[in-house]
Amino acid sequence: MDLSRFPRRRYTEGATPIEPLPRFSAALAASCPGGRGPEVWVKRDDLLGLAPGGNKTRKLEFLVADALAQGADTLVTCGAPQSNHCRITLAAAAKEGLKCRFVIEERVPGSFSEAASGNHFLFRLLGVEDLTVVPAGTDMGAAMQGVADELARQGRKAYIIPGGGSNALGGLGYVACAQELQQQLFEQGLAFDRVVVGSGSSGTHGGLVAGFLGNRIAVSLLGIGVSRDPDTQAPLVRKEAQAVCDLLGLGLTVPPEAVQCVGGYWQPKYSVPTPAMVEAVQMLARTEALLLDPVYTGKVMAGLIDLARRGVIGAGERVLFLHTGGMTALFAYQDVLLG
**Residues designated as active site:** 83
CA separation, residue 188 to residues 38, 183, 247 (Å)? 20, 8, 31
d(CA 140, CA 46): 27
DSSP 153-194: HTT--EEE--GGG-SHHHHHHHHHHHHHHHHHHHHHT---SE
**3-class DSSP state for residue 319?**
strand
Q: Identify the bridge partners of residue 104 per DSSP, sorted by sequence position.
A: 79, 133
DSSP 220-272: EEEEEESS--HHHHHHHHHHHHHHHHHHHT---PPPGGG-EEE-STTTTSTT-
